[in-house]
Amino acid sequence: MFILPRLDKMLSIEEKTSLENFLSTPYVNNSDPSPEKQSSEEAPRGLENFSLTAGHQGRSDLLEASQDIKIEGLSISVHGTFLFKNADLKISNGRRYGLVGPNGIGKSTLLKHIASRSLNIPPNIDILFCEQEVRADEASALNSVLSSDKKRSQLIEEEEVLLSEPDQTQENIDRLNQIYEQLDAMKADAAEAKACQILSGLGFDQAMQHRLTKNFSGRWRMRISLARALFIEPTLLLLDEPTNHLDLNAVIWLDNYLQKWKKTLLVVSHDQSFLDNVCTDIIHLDNQKLYYYRGNYSKVKKMLTQKKCEEQKEYEKQEKKINEMKSTGKSGRRAQEKSKELLSREQEKDAKKKEKQEPVELLKKPKDYVVKFKFPKTHNLSPPVLVLKNVTFKYPGQEYLFKEVNFGVDMKSRIAIVGPNGVGKSTFLKILLGDIQPTGGEVMRNSFLKIGRFDQHSADQFDVNLSPVAHLRTMYNLDYQECRKRLGSVGLPGFVHEIKIENLSGGQKARVALSDLVSKAPDIIVLDEPTNNLDIESIDALAEAMNSFEGGVVIVSHDERLIRETDCQLYVIENQKVAAFNGDFDDYRAELLNFLGEEIVQNPSVAASSATAGD
């Protein structure tokens, strides 16, 4: 239950309205676990509060045979607030779609409704929505993946039963022959090799592949769930932020693997290089409608920028007409009605080209969603700024993670730490930050050095009973308006500035933490998977702020574009050492895929050219 503070003089009218909607709408947890394989009996949870309507969808006989999805007039609302209004959903067989748009406007909700079949999906399209970690039980990771193919498992089980019978009748022999034919058709002999390949790509070595699922953390069980989805190869695969659970090596593999995906894919992701490399089409969710574009995200992003400029010009043209009519003595209401008439005539010219004509409404002012911030000036620190000399480290009772590591960060450093899971990337950052002390060796820091950190759990360290504004005022002695300004610059909506941090979403908490990082005025920033709760616009703003930052940067990230755009030098953790990689990102990508025995679909990646060309 939220306690609404006295905000009459603090928030604008628009912010108060947004706050009231926020408080009156039940929170729908997008991470609420749902079954992997959706059916009418096992629908995604969290849809009880939604209302859904859709228009005509074509002849039922054609619908049953279709491999495409086409739903017109789709509207989805929650307690009277529309997420989709008279939108058209079109998904063609064999295309790979990226669904994009700002956080919190309904992308995950759409995936859940598709998975639940609350929409009229052709019955011969099997759908798999990968959103829940696999169950922790006695099955190994490998067997968990193999058992996900129910048909194969049933045939093998039936084969074992028939072979165990002491007397083989002709009927049994005939049935066994049928089973063998079906197993051959589905390439059952290659199933284990395929499952091992997928698990290996997602970061499971041989020992891990045979480890029981109950002995994995939730994040690793999520990887097993993703492996099962890739192994099954459903007609329509739905993925919601799949890279959030992966490290860079696994993202590189998944990116390359999905470029060869022959079935239909619909993915929500904030990873621009992933969208660029994987997707053949982009669906843009904007103003409760779905807009479709052919091409990768970088190409579409430029088109959307141009479209927004054109919409702004049309809006200004409309407002100019209204103001001109007002100056001739017409009332504001009459001027708007006259403007509607003019707009209606313009639309009627194109009416014959359209299958449907929506009611004429005045153009709304295009909403500006701008995230732009920068770090304050740094101190002029003389070296050594941050140096590790012959550092060794191990956790009690475990093997050494690092032996005799020599490493340095100066005020010009741009360093990305890479390597497979388990080699100690996050531990290495903790040593740099001083959270843990090395087992041996020396860490030298300039006595005036201020280090700032940012990761997906940063906000958990704050007093969650404070509002974002109160947090900044308490920590940095800022005045009220300066707090609001800083929070707004990182994309935190004004109406939540006075809500307790404990009641904010993950993305909103990340923005508070980002504002805290900027306010700290650090000399060196250490970022551990900073993009997990940020949208595309915020990641772009972070990259821009990092590029203009005068201090040093050390980052662990699975986001290829962020690493490229900030021109980070790669440092690889392997064999208990931390060493500069001899090559650029494409060299690292190629080396990794070659090591995994994968055919490289695209090298250099699309992301390289799009990052170089700019937006």
**How many whole angstroms separate alpha carbon 584 and alpha carbon 369?**
33
The continuous run of DSSP H or E covering 190 comes out as none
* φ/ψ (deg, to 5) at 52: -135, 135
Q: Average pLDDT in the 589-602 region?
A: 90
- Decide which of 286 and 367 is more confident: 286
- In the chain, the percentage of residues whose pLDDT exceeds 90 is 59
In the prediction, which pLDDT does 28 show? 38
Secondary structure of 194-205 as H, E, C letters: HHHHHHHHCCCC
List helix spans (H) across 233-378: 248-258, 272-278, 297-327, 332-349
| pLDDT class of 115 with cuts at 50, 70, 90 | very high
Give pLDDT, residue 357.
53
184-188, 190-194, 342-346, 410-414: range with lowest mean pLDDT: 342-346
**Backbone torsions φ then ψ of 441, nearest 5 degrees:** 90, -170
The pLDDT, as a whole number, for residue 160 is 76
Across the range 16-34, mean pLDDT stands at 49
Residue 65 has a pLDDT of 72
pLDDT per residue over 148-183, tens digit each? Answer: 887 777 777 777 777 888 777 888 787 777 777 777
**Residue 10 confidence (pLDDT) above 70:** no
Tens of pLDDT along 315-374? 888 888 878 777 776 555 665 666 656 666 555 555 554 445 555 567 777 777 788 999
Tokens of 471: 């947090």
Task: Set out the domains of the chain in order of their start, with CATH numbers.
Answer: 386-613 (3.40.50.300)
pLDDT, position 561: 94
Contact residues for 603 (Cβ-Cβ < 8 A; gap 6+): 586, 589, 590
Cis check: omega of the bond before 493, within 30 degrees of 0: no
Q: By C-alpha distance, which of 428, 443, 438, 331 is closest to 387?
A: 443
DSSP string, 351-376: GGG-S--PPP-PPPPPPP------PP
pLDDT of residue 311: 83
Count of helices and strands (H, E) across the chain: 21, 18
Q: What is the pLDDT of residues 539-571, one digit of tens each?
A: 999 999 999 999 999 999 999 999 999 999 999
Residue 343's pLDDT is: 60
- pLDDT (0 to 100) of residue 601: 83
Q: Does residue 401 contact residue 393 with C-beta atoms inside 8 Å?
A: yes
Q: What is the pLDDT of residue 141?
A: 96
**Ramachandran bin of 303, using left for φ above 0, alpha for ψ from -120 to 50, beta for the remaining angles:** alpha
Q: Above 50 in pLDDT, residue 41?
A: no
State the average pLDDT for the chain. Answer: 85
pLDDT band per the 50, 70, 90 thresholds, residue 13: low
Q: Helix H segments across 458-584?
A: 468-476, 480-489, 506-520, 536-548, 560-565
State the maximum Cα–Cα separation within the chain, in Å, rounded to a whole number: 101
Residue 565 vs residues 100, 199, 470, 559, 561: alpha-carbon distances, Å: 21, 30, 34, 10, 6
